[in-house]
């Protein structure tokens, strides 16, 4: 056997030492939280109120219709009757007829306010999918330890949970030092332009500058993150941008018995194929890098070494992340075809073919830059590329060193001590983006637990929340208000 050259041996030893030192310094970011003071909860009454809230059909798509508007107003009346102390002591404004803004005056006007947001509208239930529900979607049935129905997770749980917390705190005689705003939109599921956007505009005109904003968005995931046995509470510190591009080709058409070399369908197909073959680059930067800094130290040794030494293992970690759609979506801008249209008859060459690709843009990239990359990848001037009207740049990234993040982190550790906390990137969009002009410290988290088969309940059938989780949501909001007023 050939002897290792002394230089190579020294280099290997130095590398091993470096990896070991960096791994040893890669220490846990989890806050040690003292146990929380007790908070009195009437579990049954609380569950009954959420159940009753689900029975209001505050459906997003029906909202603009007169009947839908009426349903929101009936829902407001229900809230006033259900939370009497809150409605006596907080000021309430109806914004744009259907959204609600509450203000709980703080004792110290120098402190920046806290803004808790949620939405009252829910997505519709397609008539043919109603059979897939174990309990009728607007029944609010309480059975088998769960509250069932549309809005149980998204997002009547947030609205009612926040209101329960404030009502409970008022019952204890608690008065906040900083002013607390509660803002509930009525059209989040269709963009939030009539609700959250209007509330945010009102707050901006009044010069309100929140210390931080908390919205729904991410949850506690259990058995979903590879390499971590404990449940993980993911706090969304940013969300991806949104863009759809229409690709279209117009040709002369003609009879299918004498086909030309290039057809409209052929050209669009080739464009889509080229796009599939040139994915956007994978990056372990921004919110995803912050997430790995929090998760890495909690993992077994081999993963810890890799994540503590991304300067060396970055390609390996990217490759592993790209292997699953769930993790691939947080390391790159994604692109996928969602519509395809061409042809009127089996023996007629279509004069036009078109497709729509939907993109979710990584923070740090832009609508203009991504559009240009698509144009380059398609590389064919015959394919016309037009952006569709609904588009959003990626959000700013909230500060994880800011007090707001620490307060949320500490509150999660107090209400769910078994949980690991980490910042993360949300791949969907929430109402919170409308508040971006007020502060960059926007966090997206709601403490319900998602196991591997639960994510599909969002906007799907059998949406439900366990009674334990709901109780924890209420405790979380109550404690969060207390903790941010210390
Ligand atoms: Zn929602």
CA 428 to ligand 1 centroid distance, Å: 10
Amino acid 330: pLDDT: 95
Neighbours of ion ligand 1 (CB under 5 A): 154-155
CA 168 to ligand 1 centroid distance, Å: 24
| Nearest Cα residue to 213 out of 426, 439, 410 | 439
85-134 pLDDT, tens digit each: 999 999 999 999 999 999 999 999 999 999 999 999 999 998 888 999 99
Judged against a pLDDT cut of 60, whether residue 157 lies above it is answered with yes
Residues 6+ positions from 95 with CB-CB distance below 8 Å = 101, 195, 198, 199, 202
CA 151 to ligand 1 centroid distance, Å: 8
pTM: 0.93
CA 14 to ligand 1 centroid distance, Å: 51
CA 222 to ligand 1 centroid distance, Å: 20
What 3 state SS string does 427-483 have?
A: CCCCHHHHHCCCCCCEEECCCCEECCCCHHHCCCCCCEEEHHHHHHHHHHHHHHHHH
Element (H, E) at 229: none
| Nearest Cα residue to 152 out of 183, 122, 173 | 122
Q: Which residues are catalytic?
A: 121, 188
Residues 6+ positions from 250 with CB-CB distance below 8 Å = 264, 351, 352, 384
> d(Cα 228, Cα 296) in Å, to the nearest integer?
9
E strand residue ranges, 168-211: 180-185
CA 189 to ligand 1 centroid distance, Å: 7
> d(Cα 68, Cα 52) in Å, to the nearest integer?
17
> DSSP string spanning 31-95?
---PPPPP----HHHHHHHHHHHHTS--BTTTTTSHHHHHHHHHHHHHHHHH-HHHHHHSEEEEE
For strands 384-387 and 220-221, give the pairing. Answer: unpaired
315-364 pLDDT, tens digit each: 999 999 999 888 999 999 999 999 999 999 999 999 999 999 999 999 99
CA 239 to ligand 1 centroid distance, Å: 14
| Nearest Cα residue to 23 out of 302, 255, 273 | 302
Confidence of residue 65 (pLDDT cuts 50, 70, 90): low
Residues 6+ positions from 35 with CB-CB distance below 8 Å = 414
CA 154 to ligand 1 centroid distance, Å: 5
- Angle, to 10 degrees, between the axis of helix 403-415 and the axis of helix 467-483? 140
Find out whether 221 and 458 touch, Cβ atoms under 8 Å: no
Find out whether 449 and 259 touch, Cβ atoms under 8 Å: no
3-state class percentages of the chain: helix first, strand second, coil last, to nearest 5: 40, 20, 40
Longest dimension (CA), the chain: 86
Confidence of residue 64 (pLDDT cuts 50, 70, 90): low
The Cα-based distances of 180 to 94, 195, 211, 275 in angstroms read 17, 19, 10, 47
Helix (H, G, I), strand (E, B) or coil at 370: helix
Amino acid 230: pLDDT: 96
Confidence of residue 255 (pLDDT cuts 50, 70, 90): confident
| Nearest Cα residue to 91 out of 80, 77, 75, 107 | 80
421-478 pLDDT, tens digit each: 999 999 999 999 999 999 999 999 999 999 988 988 999 999 999 999 999 999 999 9
Which 8-state DSSP code applies to residue 392? B
CA 446 to ligand 1 centroid distance, Å: 10
Q: Give 119's strand partners.
A: 185
């Amino acid at each position: 056997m050939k002897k290792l050259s002394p230089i190579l041996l020294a280099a290997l030893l130095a590398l091993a030492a470096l990896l070991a030192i960096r791994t040893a310094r890669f220490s846990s970011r989890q806050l040690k939280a003292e146990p929380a003071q007790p908070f009195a909860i009437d579990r049954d009454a609380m569950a009954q109120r959420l159940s009753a809230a689900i029975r209001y059909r505050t459906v997003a798509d029906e909202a603009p219709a007169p009947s839908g508007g009426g349903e929101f107003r009936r829902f407001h009346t229900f809230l006033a009757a259900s939370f009497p102390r809150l409605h006596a002591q907080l000021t309430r404004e109806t914004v744009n007829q259907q959204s609600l803004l509450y203000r709980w005056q703080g004792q110290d006007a120098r402190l920046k306010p806290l803004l808790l947001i949620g939405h009252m509208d829910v997505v519709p239930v397609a008539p043919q999918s109603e059979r897939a529900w174990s309990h009728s979607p607007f029944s609010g049935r309480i059975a088998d330890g769960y509250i069932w129905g549309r809005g149980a997770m998204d997002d009547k749980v947030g609205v009612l949970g926040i209101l329960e917390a404030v009502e409970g705190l008022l019952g204890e005689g608690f008065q906040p030092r900083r002013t607390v705003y509660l803002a509930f939109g009525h059209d989040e599921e269709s963009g939030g332009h009539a609700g959250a956007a209007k509330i945010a505009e009102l707050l901006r005109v009044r010069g309100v500058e929140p210390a931080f904003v908390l919205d729904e968005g991410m949850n506690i995931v259990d058995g979903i993150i590879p390499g971590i046995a404990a449940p993980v509470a993911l706090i969304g510190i940013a969300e991806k941008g949104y863009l759809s591009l229409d690709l279209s080709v117009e040709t002369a058409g003609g009879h299918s018995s004498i086909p030309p070399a290039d057809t409209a369908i052929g050209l669009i197909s080739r464009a889509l194929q080229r796009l599939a073959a040139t994915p956007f680059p994978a990056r372990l930067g921004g919110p995803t890098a912050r997430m790995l800094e929090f998760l890495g130290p909690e993992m077994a040794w081999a993963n810890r070494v890799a994540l503590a030494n991304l300067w060396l293992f970055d390609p390996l970690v990217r490759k592993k992340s790209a292997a699953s759609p769930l993790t691939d979506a947080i390391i790159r801008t994604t692109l996928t075809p969602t519509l395809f249209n061409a042809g009127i008859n089996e023996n007629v060459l279509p004069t036009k073919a078109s497709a729509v690709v939907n993109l979710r843009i990584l923070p740090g990239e832009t609508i203009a830059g991504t559009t240009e990359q698509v144009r380059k990848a398609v590389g064919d001037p015959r394919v016309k590329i037009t952006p569709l009207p609904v588009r959003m740049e990626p959000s700013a990234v909230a500060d994880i060193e800011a007090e707001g993040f620490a307060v949320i982190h500490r509150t999660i550790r107090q209400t769910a001590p078994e949980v690991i906390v980490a910042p993360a990137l949300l791949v969907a969009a929430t109402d919170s983006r409308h508040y971006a002009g007020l502060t960059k410290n926007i966090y997206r988290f709601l403490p319900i637990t998602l196991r591997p088969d639960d994510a599909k309940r969002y906007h799907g059938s059998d949406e439900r929340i366990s009674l334990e989780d709901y109780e924890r949501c209420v405790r979380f909001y109550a404690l969060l208000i207390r903790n941010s007023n210390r």
